[in-house]
Amino acid sequence: MLDIQFIRDNPSLVKDAIQKKQTGSSDLVDTILELDTSWRKAVTAHQELKTDSNAAAKQIGFLMKSGQQETAQALIQQNADMKTRLATLEDESRTLQVELENLLLEVPNVPHASVPLGRTEEDNEVVYEWGEKPVFNFTPLPHWELIEEHGLVDFDRGAKVSGAGFPFYRGLGARLQRSLIQFFLDSAARRDYTEIQPPLVINEDSARGTGQLPDKEDLMYEAKRDGLYLIPTAEVPVTNLHRDEIIAEEELPIRYCAYTPCFRREAGSHGKTVRGLNRLHQFDKVELVQFVHPDASYEALESLREDAEALLVALGLPYRRLLMSTGDMGFTQAKKYDLEVWSPGQQQWLEVSSISNFESFQARRMNIRYRPAAGGKPVVLHTLNGSGLALPRIVAALLEHYQQADGSISIPQALQPWTGFQTIGP
Protein backbone atom coordinates (compact mmCIF):
# COMPACT_ATOMS: atom_id res chain seq x y z
CA MET A 1 0.00 0.00 0.00
CA LEU A 2 1.21 3.50 -0.79
CA ASP A 3 1.16 6.21 1.86
CA ILE A 4 -1.84 8.50 1.30
CA GLN A 5 0.43 11.51 1.80
CA PHE A 6 2.66 10.21 -1.01
CA ILE A 7 -0.39 10.01 -3.29
CA ARG A 8 -1.44 13.54 -2.30
CA ASP A 9 2.02 14.86 -3.11
CA ASN A 10 2.63 12.76 -6.26
CA PRO A 11 -0.69 12.07 -8.04
CA SER A 12 0.88 12.14 -11.52
CA LEU A 13 3.60 9.68 -10.49
CA VAL A 14 1.02 7.25 -9.07
CA LYS A 15 -1.16 7.55 -12.19
CA ASP A 16 1.92 6.82 -14.28
CA ALA A 17 2.64 3.72 -12.18
CA ILE A 18 -0.90 2.42 -12.77
CA GLN A 19 -0.49 2.86 -16.52
CA LYS A 20 2.98 1.30 -16.60
CA LYS A 21 1.85 -1.72 -14.58
CA GLN A 22 -1.39 -2.06 -16.53
CA THR A 23 -3.39 -2.56 -13.36
CA GLY A 24 -6.51 -0.53 -14.05
CA SER A 25 -7.48 3.07 -14.69
CA SER A 26 -5.51 6.06 -13.47
CA ASP A 27 -8.90 7.61 -12.61
CA LEU A 28 -8.56 5.60 -9.40
CA VAL A 29 -6.13 8.26 -8.13
CA ASP A 30 -8.68 11.05 -8.66
CA THR A 31 -11.35 9.02 -6.86
CA ILE A 32 -8.99 8.41 -3.94
CA LEU A 33 -8.07 12.08 -3.66
CA GLU A 34 -11.73 13.15 -3.76
CA LEU A 35 -12.59 10.59 -1.09
CA ASP A 36 -9.59 11.68 0.95
CA THR A 37 -10.75 15.31 0.82
CA SER A 38 -14.25 14.31 1.95
CA TRP A 39 -12.85 12.18 4.76
CA ARG A 40 -10.58 14.96 6.03
CA LYS A 41 -13.46 17.45 5.94
CA ALA A 42 -15.62 15.05 7.95
CA VAL A 43 -12.82 14.49 10.48
CA THR A 44 -12.20 18.24 10.81
CA ALA A 45 -15.90 18.96 11.23
CA HIS A 46 -16.11 16.24 13.89
CA GLN A 47 -13.13 17.65 15.78
CA GLU A 48 -14.45 21.20 15.68
CA LEU A 49 -17.93 20.16 16.78
CA LYS A 50 -16.50 18.04 19.58
CA THR A 51 -14.55 21.07 20.82
CA ASP A 52 -17.78 23.11 20.80
CA SER A 53 -19.63 20.30 22.59
CA ASN A 54 -16.97 20.07 25.31
CA ALA A 55 -17.07 23.83 25.78
CA ALA A 56 -20.86 23.72 26.03
CA ALA A 57 -20.68 20.97 28.66
CA LYS A 58 -18.39 23.13 30.79
CA GLN A 59 -20.72 26.10 30.36
CA ILE A 60 -23.71 23.98 31.38
CA GLY A 61 -21.95 23.03 34.59
CA PHE A 62 -21.16 26.67 35.36
CA LEU A 63 -24.78 27.75 34.68
CA MET A 64 -26.22 25.00 36.86
CA LYS A 65 -23.95 25.92 39.77
CA SER A 66 -24.81 29.59 39.45
CA GLY A 67 -28.56 28.92 39.49
CA GLN A 68 -29.25 29.73 35.83
CA GLN A 69 -31.20 26.51 35.20
CA GLU A 70 -33.36 27.89 32.42
CA THR A 71 -30.37 29.02 30.38
CA ALA A 72 -28.63 25.74 31.19
CA GLN A 73 -31.60 23.70 29.94
CA ALA A 74 -31.53 25.52 26.59
CA LEU A 75 -27.81 24.82 26.27
CA ILE A 76 -28.36 21.19 27.25
CA GLN A 77 -30.75 20.79 24.31
CA GLN A 78 -28.22 22.43 21.97
CA ASN A 79 -25.51 20.11 23.23
CA ALA A 80 -27.77 17.08 22.70
CA ASP A 81 -28.25 18.18 19.10
CA MET A 82 -24.48 18.56 18.75
CA LYS A 83 -23.93 15.05 20.08
CA THR A 84 -26.40 13.68 17.56
CA ARG A 85 -24.51 15.49 14.83
CA LEU A 86 -21.22 14.19 16.28
CA ALA A 87 -22.45 10.61 16.00
CA THR A 88 -23.48 11.23 12.40
CA LEU A 89 -20.10 12.76 11.54
CA GLU A 90 -18.29 9.90 13.27
CA ASP A 91 -20.20 7.32 11.23
CA GLU A 92 -19.60 9.31 8.07
CA SER A 93 -15.86 9.66 8.66
CA ARG A 94 -15.56 5.95 9.56
CA THR A 95 -17.41 4.93 6.39
CA LEU A 96 -15.25 7.23 4.26
CA GLN A 97 -12.09 5.88 5.92
CA VAL A 98 -13.04 2.27 5.16
CA GLU A 99 -13.83 3.17 1.53
CA LEU A 100 -10.52 5.01 1.27
CA GLU A 101 -8.51 2.13 2.73
CA ASN A 102 -10.19 -0.34 0.37
CA LEU A 103 -9.35 1.82 -2.64
CA LEU A 104 -5.74 2.24 -1.48
CA LEU A 105 -5.40 -1.55 -1.61
CA GLU A 106 -6.06 -1.37 -5.37
CA VAL A 107 -3.15 1.01 -6.08
CA PRO A 108 0.01 -0.77 -7.30
CA ASN A 109 3.51 -0.08 -6.08
CA VAL A 110 5.51 2.54 -7.94
CA PRO A 111 8.31 1.01 -10.07
CA HIS A 112 11.88 1.98 -9.23
CA ALA A 113 13.51 4.36 -11.70
CA SER A 114 15.82 1.56 -12.93
CA VAL A 115 12.92 -0.69 -14.03
CA PRO A 116 12.58 -0.86 -17.84
CA LEU A 117 9.35 0.31 -19.41
CA GLY A 118 7.41 -2.49 -21.06
CA ARG A 119 4.06 -4.18 -21.48
CA THR A 120 4.86 -7.91 -21.78
CA GLU A 121 7.53 -10.48 -20.88
CA GLU A 122 9.18 -9.68 -24.19
CA ASP A 123 10.18 -6.31 -22.72
CA ASN A 124 12.14 -7.82 -19.82
CA GLU A 125 15.88 -7.18 -20.05
CA VAL A 126 18.46 -9.96 -19.92
CA VAL A 127 21.13 -8.28 -17.81
CA TYR A 128 23.42 -11.24 -17.06
CA GLU A 129 24.08 -14.78 -18.19
CA TRP A 130 26.25 -17.44 -16.56
CA GLY A 131 27.49 -20.84 -17.65
CA GLU A 132 27.67 -22.69 -20.92
CA LYS A 133 24.75 -24.61 -22.34
CA PRO A 134 25.66 -28.32 -22.48
CA VAL A 135 26.55 -29.94 -25.78
CA PHE A 136 25.53 -33.59 -26.15
CA ASN A 137 26.72 -36.23 -28.61
CA PHE A 138 23.20 -37.63 -28.47
CA THR A 139 19.71 -36.16 -28.58
CA PRO A 140 18.88 -34.99 -25.02
CA LEU A 141 15.54 -36.08 -23.62
CA PRO A 142 13.04 -33.79 -21.90
CA HIS A 143 12.74 -34.39 -18.19
CA TRP A 144 9.32 -36.08 -18.39
CA GLU A 145 10.85 -38.89 -20.46
CA LEU A 146 13.76 -39.22 -18.03
CA ILE A 147 11.31 -39.27 -15.13
CA GLU A 148 9.32 -42.08 -16.72
CA GLU A 149 12.42 -44.08 -17.61
CA HIS A 150 13.75 -43.97 -14.04
CA GLY A 151 10.44 -44.02 -12.14
CA LEU A 152 11.11 -40.75 -10.32
CA VAL A 153 7.66 -39.13 -10.39
CA ASP A 154 4.19 -40.61 -10.81
CA PHE A 155 1.90 -38.11 -12.50
CA ASP A 156 -0.91 -40.55 -13.28
CA ARG A 157 -1.46 -41.73 -9.71
CA GLY A 158 -1.15 -38.15 -8.48
CA ALA A 159 -3.95 -37.19 -10.87
CA LYS A 160 -6.01 -40.16 -9.62
CA VAL A 161 -5.59 -39.23 -5.97
CA SER A 162 -5.77 -35.43 -6.19
CA GLY A 163 -5.94 -34.18 -9.78
CA ALA A 164 -3.57 -33.00 -12.48
CA GLY A 165 -0.64 -31.02 -11.13
CA PHE A 166 -0.31 -32.98 -7.86
CA PRO A 167 2.38 -35.59 -8.55
CA PHE A 168 3.85 -38.32 -6.37
CA TYR A 169 7.65 -38.25 -6.08
CA ARG A 170 9.05 -41.70 -5.48
CA GLY A 171 12.33 -43.51 -4.88
CA LEU A 172 15.36 -41.52 -5.96
CA GLY A 173 13.02 -38.80 -7.20
CA ALA A 174 11.75 -38.23 -3.65
CA ARG A 175 15.29 -38.41 -2.26
CA LEU A 176 16.53 -35.90 -4.84
CA GLN A 177 13.69 -33.56 -3.91
CA ARG A 178 14.46 -33.87 -0.18
CA SER A 179 18.19 -33.41 -0.78
CA LEU A 180 17.68 -30.21 -2.73
CA ILE A 181 15.49 -28.77 0.03
CA GLN A 182 18.12 -29.55 2.65
CA PHE A 183 20.91 -28.20 0.42
CA PHE A 184 19.03 -24.91 -0.09
CA LEU A 185 18.22 -24.52 3.62
CA ASP A 186 21.76 -25.31 4.75
CA SER A 187 23.15 -22.86 2.20
CA ALA A 188 20.80 -20.15 3.51
CA ALA A 189 21.84 -20.87 7.10
CA ARG A 190 25.49 -20.33 6.13
CA ARG A 191 24.43 -16.92 4.79
CA ASP A 192 22.90 -15.90 8.14
CA TYR A 193 19.25 -16.68 7.44
CA THR A 194 17.21 -17.96 10.38
CA GLU A 195 15.15 -21.00 9.42
CA ILE A 196 11.38 -20.78 9.91
CA GLN A 197 8.81 -23.54 9.60
CA PRO A 198 5.57 -21.61 8.98
CA PRO A 199 1.90 -22.62 8.79
CA LEU A 200 0.66 -23.85 5.42
CA VAL A 201 -2.64 -21.96 5.67
CA ILE A 202 -3.23 -18.23 6.10
CA ASN A 203 -6.14 -16.01 6.99
CA GLU A 204 -7.50 -13.15 4.91
CA ASP A 205 -5.51 -10.49 6.77
CA SER A 206 -2.26 -12.27 5.94
CA ALA A 207 -3.18 -12.62 2.27
CA ARG A 208 -4.09 -8.95 2.17
CA GLY A 209 -0.86 -7.97 3.91
CA THR A 210 1.49 -9.34 1.26
CA GLY A 211 -0.74 -8.32 -1.65
CA GLN A 212 -2.36 -11.60 -2.63
CA LEU A 213 -5.68 -9.88 -1.91
CA PRO A 214 -7.30 -8.15 -3.65
CA ASP A 215 -5.15 -9.12 -6.64
CA LYS A 216 -4.54 -12.88 -6.87
CA GLU A 217 -7.74 -14.47 -5.58
CA ASP A 218 -8.01 -16.75 -8.62
CA LEU A 219 -4.55 -18.23 -7.97
CA MET A 220 -5.18 -19.40 -4.41
CA TYR A 221 -6.90 -22.47 -3.03
CA GLU A 222 -9.49 -21.47 -0.43
CA ALA A 223 -10.84 -23.41 2.54
CA LYS A 224 -14.10 -21.47 2.61
CA ARG A 225 -15.57 -23.22 5.64
CA ASP A 226 -12.71 -21.97 7.82
CA GLY A 227 -11.98 -18.68 6.06
CA LEU A 228 -8.43 -19.80 5.23
CA TYR A 229 -6.25 -20.05 2.15
CA LEU A 230 -3.54 -22.57 1.28
CA ILE A 231 -0.28 -20.66 0.96
CA PRO A 232 0.84 -19.83 -2.61
CA THR A 233 4.37 -19.28 -1.25
CA ALA A 234 6.14 -19.13 2.11
CA GLU A 235 6.52 -15.40 1.52
CA VAL A 236 3.00 -14.87 2.85
CA PRO A 237 3.19 -16.44 6.34
CA VAL A 238 6.85 -15.52 6.89
CA THR A 239 6.42 -11.83 5.99
CA ASN A 240 3.29 -11.68 8.17
CA LEU A 241 5.32 -13.04 11.08
CA HIS A 242 5.95 -9.44 12.20
CA ARG A 243 2.57 -7.97 11.27
CA ASP A 244 1.49 -5.17 13.65
CA GLU A 245 4.90 -5.14 15.34
CA ILE A 246 7.50 -2.47 16.04
CA ILE A 247 11.06 -3.75 15.69
CA ALA A 248 14.10 -2.09 17.23
CA GLU A 249 16.34 -0.60 14.54
CA GLU A 250 19.29 -2.46 16.04
CA GLU A 251 17.61 -5.78 15.10
CA LEU A 252 17.63 -4.97 11.37
CA PRO A 253 18.19 -6.60 9.01
CA ILE A 254 16.12 -9.68 9.85
CA ARG A 255 16.64 -12.57 7.43
CA TYR A 256 14.50 -15.71 7.30
CA CYS A 257 14.48 -18.83 5.15
CA ALA A 258 11.62 -21.31 4.98
CA TYR A 259 10.80 -24.50 3.12
CA THR A 260 7.14 -25.14 2.33
CA PRO A 261 4.94 -26.80 -0.22
CA CYS A 262 3.21 -24.13 -2.30
CA PHE A 263 -0.32 -24.37 -3.68
CA ARG A 264 -1.44 -22.49 -6.79
CA ARG A 265 -4.52 -22.95 -8.91
CA GLU A 266 -2.64 -21.52 -11.92
CA ALA A 267 -5.87 -20.08 -13.31
CA GLY A 268 -5.35 -18.75 -16.80
CA SER A 269 -2.29 -20.93 -17.52
CA HIS A 270 -3.97 -22.79 -20.38
CA GLY A 271 -1.92 -22.77 -23.54
CA LYS A 272 1.40 -22.41 -21.71
CA THR A 273 4.04 -25.09 -21.41
CA VAL A 274 2.57 -27.25 -18.67
CA ARG A 275 4.02 -30.69 -19.37
CA GLY A 276 5.95 -32.61 -16.72
CA LEU A 277 7.27 -30.49 -13.86
CA ASN A 278 7.01 -27.20 -15.70
CA ARG A 279 3.79 -26.07 -14.02
CA LEU A 280 2.24 -27.74 -10.98
CA HIS A 281 -0.57 -26.97 -8.55
CA GLN A 282 1.55 -28.19 -5.62
CA PHE A 283 5.31 -27.74 -5.58
CA ASP A 284 8.15 -27.31 -3.09
CA LYS A 285 10.17 -24.14 -2.63
CA VAL A 286 12.65 -22.58 -0.25
CA GLU A 287 11.89 -18.90 0.28
CA LEU A 288 14.21 -16.13 1.49
CA VAL A 289 12.64 -13.12 3.25
CA GLN A 290 14.27 -9.96 4.58
CA PHE A 291 13.11 -7.04 6.73
CA VAL A 292 15.51 -4.12 6.31
CA HIS A 293 16.08 -0.42 6.94
CA PRO A 294 14.69 1.68 4.06
CA ASP A 295 18.15 3.07 3.29
CA ALA A 296 19.53 -0.44 2.80
CA SER A 297 16.83 -2.16 0.75
CA TYR A 298 18.42 -1.91 -2.70
CA GLU A 299 21.75 -3.13 -1.37
CA ALA A 300 19.77 -5.96 0.23
CA LEU A 301 18.07 -6.72 -3.10
CA GLU A 302 21.43 -7.35 -4.78
CA SER A 303 22.63 -9.42 -1.81
CA LEU A 304 19.45 -11.50 -1.93
CA ARG A 305 19.91 -12.02 -5.65
CA GLU A 306 23.48 -13.19 -5.07
CA ASP A 307 22.25 -15.68 -2.46
CA ALA A 308 19.89 -17.25 -5.01
CA GLU A 309 22.39 -17.19 -7.86
CA ALA A 310 25.06 -18.87 -5.73
CA LEU A 311 22.86 -21.97 -5.57
CA LEU A 312 22.63 -22.17 -9.36
CA VAL A 313 26.39 -21.78 -9.68
CA ALA A 314 26.96 -24.51 -7.10
CA LEU A 315 24.65 -26.84 -9.04
CA GLY A 316 26.41 -25.95 -12.30
CA LEU A 317 23.20 -24.93 -14.06
CA PRO A 318 23.52 -22.27 -16.77
CA TYR A 319 21.20 -19.39 -15.94
CA ARG A 320 20.30 -15.89 -16.93
CA ARG A 321 19.10 -12.92 -14.90
CA LEU A 322 16.19 -10.84 -16.13
CA LEU A 323 15.29 -7.36 -14.96
CA MET A 324 11.53 -7.36 -15.17
CA SER A 325 9.72 -4.62 -17.05
CA THR A 326 6.98 -2.46 -15.58
CA GLY A 327 4.21 -4.45 -17.25
CA ASP A 328 5.48 -7.89 -16.18
CA MET A 329 6.86 -7.33 -12.69
CA GLY A 330 3.68 -7.60 -10.65
CA PHE A 331 1.36 -5.44 -8.58
CA THR A 332 3.38 -5.26 -5.37
CA GLN A 333 7.01 -5.02 -6.47
CA ALA A 334 9.11 -1.88 -6.85
CA LYS A 335 11.88 -3.84 -8.59
CA LYS A 336 12.13 -7.50 -9.51
CA TYR A 337 14.65 -9.93 -10.98
CA ASP A 338 13.81 -13.34 -12.40
CA LEU A 339 16.38 -16.13 -12.65
CA GLU A 340 15.93 -18.68 -15.42
CA VAL A 341 17.85 -21.93 -15.97
CA TRP A 342 18.50 -23.48 -19.35
CA SER A 343 16.50 -26.62 -20.14
CA PRO A 344 18.46 -28.55 -22.80
CA GLY A 345 15.78 -31.20 -23.21
CA GLN A 346 13.16 -28.57 -23.99
CA GLN A 347 15.44 -25.94 -25.51
CA GLN A 348 13.98 -23.17 -23.42
CA TRP A 349 14.59 -21.09 -20.30
CA LEU A 350 12.71 -22.03 -17.12
CA GLU A 351 12.04 -19.56 -14.31
CA VAL A 352 13.28 -20.86 -10.95
CA SER A 353 13.44 -17.72 -8.83
CA SER A 354 11.96 -14.25 -8.48
CA ILE A 355 13.78 -11.72 -6.28
CA SER A 356 11.81 -8.63 -5.34
CA ASN A 357 12.06 -5.40 -3.38
CA PHE A 358 8.65 -4.18 -2.20
CA GLU A 359 10.07 -1.13 -0.42
CA SER A 360 7.44 -0.10 2.18
CA PHE A 361 4.46 -1.40 0.15
CA GLN A 362 3.91 -4.66 2.03
CA ALA A 363 5.09 -3.39 5.41
CA ARG A 364 2.58 -0.54 5.34
CA ARG A 365 -0.26 -2.98 4.62
CA MET A 366 0.93 -5.13 7.54
CA ASN A 367 1.83 -2.21 9.84
CA ILE A 368 5.42 -3.42 10.34
CA ARG A 369 7.66 -0.63 11.61
CA TYR A 370 11.01 -0.11 13.28
CA ARG A 371 11.83 2.22 16.15
CA PRO A 372 14.81 4.48 15.28
CA ALA A 373 17.79 4.04 17.57
CA ALA A 374 18.06 7.82 17.86
CA GLY A 375 14.46 8.04 19.05
CA GLY A 376 11.36 9.41 17.41
CA LYS A 377 8.25 7.90 15.91
CA PRO A 378 8.28 4.36 14.46
CA VAL A 379 9.03 4.19 10.73
CA VAL A 380 7.70 1.74 8.14
CA LEU A 381 10.53 -0.63 7.12
CA HIS A 382 11.17 -2.34 3.77
CA THR A 383 10.54 -6.00 2.88
CA LEU A 384 12.15 -8.22 0.26
CA ASN A 385 11.89 -11.84 -0.75
CA GLY A 386 13.25 -14.30 -3.27
CA SER A 387 13.02 -17.97 -4.18
CA GLY A 388 16.05 -19.85 -3.05
CA LEU A 389 14.97 -21.90 -5.02
CA ALA A 390 11.75 -23.34 -6.53
CA LEU A 391 12.23 -27.08 -6.93
CA PRO A 392 10.14 -28.45 -9.81
CA ARG A 393 12.00 -26.68 -12.58
CA ILE A 394 15.33 -27.10 -10.80
CA VAL A 395 14.70 -30.85 -10.80
CA ALA A 396 13.68 -30.68 -14.47
CA ALA A 397 16.82 -28.75 -15.39
CA LEU A 398 19.11 -31.02 -13.35
CA LEU A 399 17.75 -34.17 -14.98
CA GLU A 400 18.08 -32.73 -18.45
CA HIS A 401 21.44 -31.03 -17.92
CA TYR A 402 23.19 -34.05 -16.32
CA GLN A 403 21.75 -36.86 -18.47
CA GLN A 404 24.34 -39.21 -19.97
CA ALA A 405 24.50 -41.16 -23.22
CA ASP A 406 23.89 -44.47 -21.39
CA GLY A 407 20.62 -43.16 -19.99
CA SER A 408 21.92 -42.44 -16.50
CA ILE A 409 21.79 -39.06 -14.76
CA SER A 410 24.75 -37.67 -12.84
CA ILE A 411 24.29 -35.77 -9.59
CA PRO A 412 26.27 -32.50 -9.35
CA GLN A 413 29.19 -32.87 -6.98
CA ALA A 414 28.02 -30.06 -4.68
CA LEU A 415 24.75 -31.92 -4.06
CA GLN A 416 26.16 -35.41 -3.49
CA PRO A 417 26.79 -34.98 0.28
CA TRP A 418 23.02 -34.44 0.64
CA THR A 419 21.78 -37.10 -1.80
CA GLY A 420 24.12 -39.88 -0.71
CA PHE A 421 24.24 -41.11 -4.32
CA GLN A 422 26.17 -39.96 -7.37
CA THR A 423 24.01 -41.16 -10.23
CA ILE A 424 20.46 -42.15 -11.11
CA GLY A 425 20.19 -45.18 -13.32
CA PRO A 426 22.74 -47.67 -14.69
279 is catalytic: yes
Which of 187, 208, 255, 264 is an active site residue? 264
Which of 206, 297, 393, 400 is an active site residue? 393
CA distances to 24, 239, 406 from 396, rounded to whole Å, are: 36, 29, 18
Which of 187, 206, 354, 360 is an active site residue? 354
393 is catalytic: yes
Which of 279, 320, 371, 410 is an active site residue? 279
354 is catalytic: yes
Which of 351, 371, 408, 410 is an active site residue? 351
175 is catalytic: no
Q: Which residues pair with 203 in a beta bridge?
A: 228
Q: Show which residues are catalytic.
A: 264, 279, 351, 354, 393
